[in-house]
Structure 1
């Protein structure tokens, strides 16, 4: 009888251990998967963060990466978010970024902030989660 209980306890421990491993694998799959747009926006964030440092050093950003034009075609997490508003904000972002690259030294900060604010304005319409992080890209004018 004692052996039977030990056997049952052992089986229970093995069973629970296997389920825990299964759950961890499933959670890892969720973390790894991201939409093309999410990946693109992370690239945009990184470059705008680099631009902030350049601008604070008085230098102009050098280029608008061709990858940024994928904003018009990258798969969204929710495909219904791609609408006329999203397309208008996307085009506005690319336009403000282009203006930033052609800025005089006097207008670098304001044009950088205009570019960042175009991101914030778009995110206010659908995906508000990243706004606090995006706001960190703004350069204080005080």
Structure 2
């Protein structure tokens, strides 16, 4: 009887084990203690969201934000992330994003999506948390 009780207790304990959630929660922080890069990426997101709306309305985005060039110098949360791969992705993003401002209305959706996809590609290598949010910028 003691073995059955012990077995029942063991099964009860194991069945109560919390299942880990694979859902990623994205927290947007506007606090002053975030890194320069985090703040810059929030601005990049906001600008891409604004561009998406303009493109959907058939309007062309007007001006490339020069502040985005700070992607090469902005302080990172983890300085070790800035390596040759990060720099290559940064250059690719800037090139893709600039093309959104240098294109005709005919290719705006493609150029916008290329810029957004450059963000996703980089984030797949380092910081995957924001990917679901970034994907919402794509125009289908």
TM-score, normalising length: structure 1: 0.75
Higher alpha-carbon Rg: 1
Does 2:81 align with 1:81? yes
Displacement after TM superposition at 1:32 (Å): 4.8
Q: 1-side partners of 2:47 and 2:95: how far apart?
A: 16
5+ residue gaps, structure 1, are 1-30
Q: The residue matched to 2:120 in structure 1 has which SS?
A: helix
Q: Take 1:102 and 1:84, find their aligned partners in 2: how far apart are those partners? A: 27
Q: Which runs of 4+ in 1 moved over 3 A?
A: none
How many Å separate the matches in 2 of 1:65 and 1:89? 18
User: Partner of 2:138: helix, strand, or coil?
Assistant: coil
Q: 2:110, 2:38 → 1: CA distance?
A: 26
Query: Which residue number in structure 2 is paired with residue 11 of structure 1?
Result: none
Counterpart of 2:139 in structure 1 is 139
The reply on whether 1:104 has 2:104 as its aligned counterpart is yes
Larger helix share, 1 or 2: 1
Number of residue pairs the alignment of both structures matches:
110
How many angstroms apart in 2 are the aligned matches of 1:61 and 1:95? 15
Aligned: 1:63 with 2:63: yes
Compute the TM-score of the two structures, normalised by the length of structure 2. 0.76
Q: Decide which moves more: 31-40 or 83-92.
A: 31-40
Structure 2 counterpart of 1:115: 115
What SS class does the counterpart of residue 115 from structure 2 fall into? helix
Partner of 2:92: 92
Match of 1:54 in 2: 54
RMSD: 0.9
CA deviation map 1:96-115 (0-9, x unaligned): 11111111111000100000
